[in-house]
A and B are shown apart, each in its own frame.
Chain A
Amino acid sequence: MKSRCPYDLDRLRNKGVFLSIGRRLTSGKLIRARNLREAADILSDRLALAQALELEIVGLNGSPSLFIYIPSLLARPHIIVGYHESGLPILIAVEDLKGHFCVVGLTQAGKSLVLGLIGYQLVRLGHGAVFLGMKAPDPMPLAHMRWACESKTRLDDQGHRVSAPFAYFTLEFNTRTRSLNCQVQWRWNLPKWLKAGVLLKSLGRDGFINDRLGHYFTTSEQALLQKVPDWGDSLRELRDAVERVKQTREEYKSTSGLRHELAQLAEIDQLNLPAGHPSSIDVAAMLKERGVIYFDPCCLDLGSVGTAVAAYFLQTVIFIKRNLIPDRNKRLYIFIDEGQKLPLSLVAGWIEQLAAYGMHLGLTVQNISQLGDYAETISMTQTRIVFSAVPEGLTDRLIRSLCGTAKEWAPSFSVGQSNSLSAGESVGPSGTTVSTGSVTGEQLGFSLTEHDAPAWTTNDTLNLNNNTDEFLVSVTAGHFGPTPIRCQRGGVVIPFDVANALAEDTLKNSPNGFLPGQPPVKQLPAPATPNPLADKRAAWLATLKAKAEKIRNSLPR
């Protein structure tokens, strides 16, 4: 563990990032950030940064400031995640989040807060984002995301500062929300086998390749979906269409899982409104405008239904990003709070494959062992932030492995004493000789033996758990060398009371939101404009309707 300067300055210089500790680099115009909030704001506002030549971020508790040459920051944007234990600000290059990042910590450790802090800066830097809160609406990340969207840190075509669009979706009971019909987001005429595959995957109904029984059900369900002539424009219509498909008794049994899951999803109002509904979120447009969608499937109450909704939504987002904006430099960050609640096979697959398409994951989990068989894959994220760990648990072992070993010298002492006695008798011509002898000796020894010992011990874990303000940061091939560094928070960007007010405002006053389950508000008709054809059309419509009714009534029953 490094306790003094955490930065590998030579490597930074080679990467083109010029920074100095306690000393100015230039005599040009300087911007000063006195705390975490100011640092996060200025680092994520490229337009403000471009006004000066050098940035000073004041260290914590009297620690020296960090000076950074701004052109290098503009070329390689950075974000702040906290302060080193020595008080120096800790910056991470946005490039180092390309290999995904993971935040681990016990409950109430502040994982969501860090996710919000990182998301806040990335969105202000102009990246699109999707935030998936897998428990229930969480004021801190929600407020960070919304505030980031409302920050005017981007330029439009005319060079004016503009904000980014923000949309909020929730399955929370009695809460206003936008609607998101995943079915109508698919703007491509996809073959049915492909749509069926994506739907089954997102519902967690694939992944049975090595399980013959599971494979039987998956293929049955795929076959059923392929038989549906028209999928309709919502899960509700799909459910009805699926129910109309003729099946044998055996097929009916083998596809009951899918039909039941579709039946659950079809009942959710906010997932089934038509595309033209005012509350509808257009995912493609949001991605194009690099906005933020905050998606709350409310798993705390809904369990597996919420999980299925979240997975289907994310799979839709991923598909749209890949096909609509394939440029990997136009990045989309996907933040998943409590990632262990999603199907882990999906998350592992995303970690392995998404970065190649310009999508980067940020996950929080309580501990690595929640990730089950996929723990190793999901731990492969490039940046890891650890708040706490169960001693001797899987997370603890991961930290220990990341910290490597340290050289230690084991002293040894030796004390010895020897006594020897001798007696002799010799007979010769001169007579007999008798001799006796005694030798006494003492030895004192001291030696030092070199050996490797874990640099991180259980006591370190206990200390980390005991201090809720501390965390470890490890970035593979980052600025800090191969081992993690010990950091502290050093404040918040948005105070808790402000965050709560912002979150409440989002839940209650989001434009175009609606309250699911409530009867629609009757719209007053617009004043009719005089139209000579309107009356004729109304009369003809009535005649056509009456004719159709008459014919229907004459049909045999």
Chain B
Amino acid sequence: MPKQLSRTDQVLLYWLARTGGLRAEDARKYPGLEHIRTTEAMTKRLDRLCAAGYVAASPLLRGPRLYRLSQKGARLTSAPNSYTAKPTAGKLVQLVSISAVGARVKEVVFVSPQQLASLAQDLSVDPIPANFPGRFALRTFPASDAANGHDGETHVFYWLAENRSPENLVKRVETIIAKLRTYALFASLIELDLFGVAVAVPSMAAKAALEQKPFPTKTEFWVLEQLHDVIP
């Protein structure tokens, strides 16, 4: 890391490399960044990194901007090059949702494609490509969560945040599951009830509508009101 970057800036770049993008309001909640007390201070810090060329900002439909790594920042942090591309509208939905949730590391830890490949190696199954598409997370259920019978267990979840109707979301999940089943890792995880899909939705109403739908696998719905800023 260059010497002119402070420890906080380095941590910020690290989280940008892990999540793909952050909003100032969410960034304050991430481990190592909690000492930044206000959103304004975080915004200022991110703007400084922008000016230094490490970070780029993307405007959203509403609300504050989303910050992501620039080419320079990606080189510095060894983040995938795809993180530096200007995000499409669909990509923005995913980045905003991950930004909102990524700080809750006790419940959910997003894994990079390399970490996913290393997991396959640890589990002694056929390897998966190092640039496997999609965002995956290790979801740890709280110890007192008796409702679903997974007390304290850690499962692999596919993170899905897309602006689609409930019917289309069901179809999308079916497609994803069908593709994932072709890999030994995911086929075994599904068979052992260690795999699920986490769907980010903008409201309780959307969650209620989706709960009525039959999904082909274990599905969780995360209500994230921040998604209102990216959904037309």
Assuming the contacts A540-B192, A540-B194, A545-B154, asked whether A557 and B32 have C-beta atoms less than 8 A apart, the reply is yes
A-B contact pairs, 27 of them (CB 8 A): A189-B205, A191-B204, A229-B224, A229-B225, A233-B147, A274-B146, A275-B147, A276-B147, A537-B193, A540-B123, A540-B188, A540-B189, A541-B154, A543-B119, A543-B123, A544-B119, A544-B154, A544-B194, A545-B140, A545-B153, A547-B138, A548-B140, A552-B105, A555-B105, A556-B15, A556-B31, A557-B31
Would you list which residues of chain B between 190 and 232 have a CB under 8 Å from chain A?
Answer: 191-194, 204-205, 207-208, 211, 223-225
Contacting residue for B155 out of A233, A533, A544, CB 8 A? A544
Interface assignment of A551: CB less than 8 Å from any CB of chain B: yes
Interface assignment of A230: CB less than 8 Å from any CB of chain B: yes
A residues near B154, Cβ cutoff 8 Å: 541, 544-545, 547-548
B residues near A29, Cβ cutoff 8 Å: none
Q: Are A230 and B155 in contact (CB under 8 A)?
A: no
CA of A229 to CA of B140, assembled, Å: 20
Output the nearest chain B residue to A231 by Cβ-Cβ distance.
Answer: B204
Would you list which residues of chain A between 519 and 546 have a CB under 8 Å from chain B?
Answer: 533, 536-537, 540-541, 543-545
Q: Are B146 and A533 in contact (CB under 8 A)?
A: no
14 extra interchain contacts, Cβ-Cβ under 8 A, other than A274-B144, A547-B122, A556-B11?
A189-B205, A192-B204, A533-B191, A537-B194, A540-B123, A543-B122, A543-B123, A544-B154, A548-B154, A551-B138, A552-B106, A555-B31, A556-B15, A557-B32
A residues near B82, Cβ cutoff 8 Å: none
A229, A277, A557: most-surrounded residue (chain B CB, <10 A)? A229
Interface size on A, residues (CB 8 A): 25
Output the nearest chain A residue to B137 by Cβ-Cβ distance.
Answer: A548
CA of A334 to CA of B94, assembled, Å: 50
Interface assignment of B187: CB less than 8 Å from any CB of chain A: no
Q: Are B138 and A544 in contact (CB under 8 A)?
A: yes
A residues near B27, Cβ cutoff 8 Å: none
Would you list which residues of chain A between 221 and 238 have a CB under 8 Å from chain B?
Answer: 229-230, 233
Contacting residue for A536 out of B138, B146, B192, CB 8 A? B192
B residues near A557, Cβ cutoff 8 Å: 31-32
Q: Are B109 and A552 in contact (CB under 8 A)?
A: yes
CA of A543 to CA of B122, assembled, Å: 7
Q: Are B147 and A548 in contact (CB under 8 A)?
A: no
CA of A548 to CA of B155, assembled, Å: 9
Interface assignment of B111: CB less than 8 Å from any CB of chain A: yes
Q: Are A551 and B192 in contact (CB under 8 A)?
A: no
Q: Are B146 and A189 in contact (CB under 8 A)?
A: no
Would you list which residues of chain A between 195 and 234 have a CB under 8 Å from chain B?
Answer: 229-230, 233
CA of A76 to CA of B122, assembled, Å: 75
Contacting residue for B204 out of A189, A233, A543, CB 8 A? A189
A68 to chain B, nearest CB (A): 53
B residues near A274, Cβ cutoff 8 Å: 144, 146-147
Output the nearest chain B residue to A542 by Cβ-Cβ distance.
Answer: B154
Output the nearest chain A residue to B116 by Cβ-Cβ distance.
Answer: A547
B residues near A233, Cβ cutoff 8 Å: 147
B residues near A545, Cβ cutoff 8 Å: 140, 153-154
B residues near A275, Cβ cutoff 8 Å: 147
B residues near A544, Cβ cutoff 8 Å: 119, 138, 154-156, 194
Q: Are B146 and A548 in contact (CB under 8 A)?
A: no
A residues near B204, Cβ cutoff 8 Å: 189, 191-192, 230
CA of A533 to CA of B190, assembled, Å: 12
Q: Are A537 and B192 in contact (CB under 8 A)?
A: yes
Interface assignment of B115: CB less than 8 Å from any CB of chain A: yes
B106 to chain A, nearest CB (A): 8
CA of A557 to CA of B34, assembled, Å: 9
A405 to chain B, nearest CB (A): 61
CA of A191 to CA of B205, assembled, Å: 8
Contacting residue for B109 out of A533, A541, A551, CB 8 A? A551
Pairs A-B, 10 closest by C-beta atoms: A189-B208, A556-B32, A548-B138, A544-B154, A537-B192, A556-B11, A545-B154, A548-B154, A551-B109, A274-B146
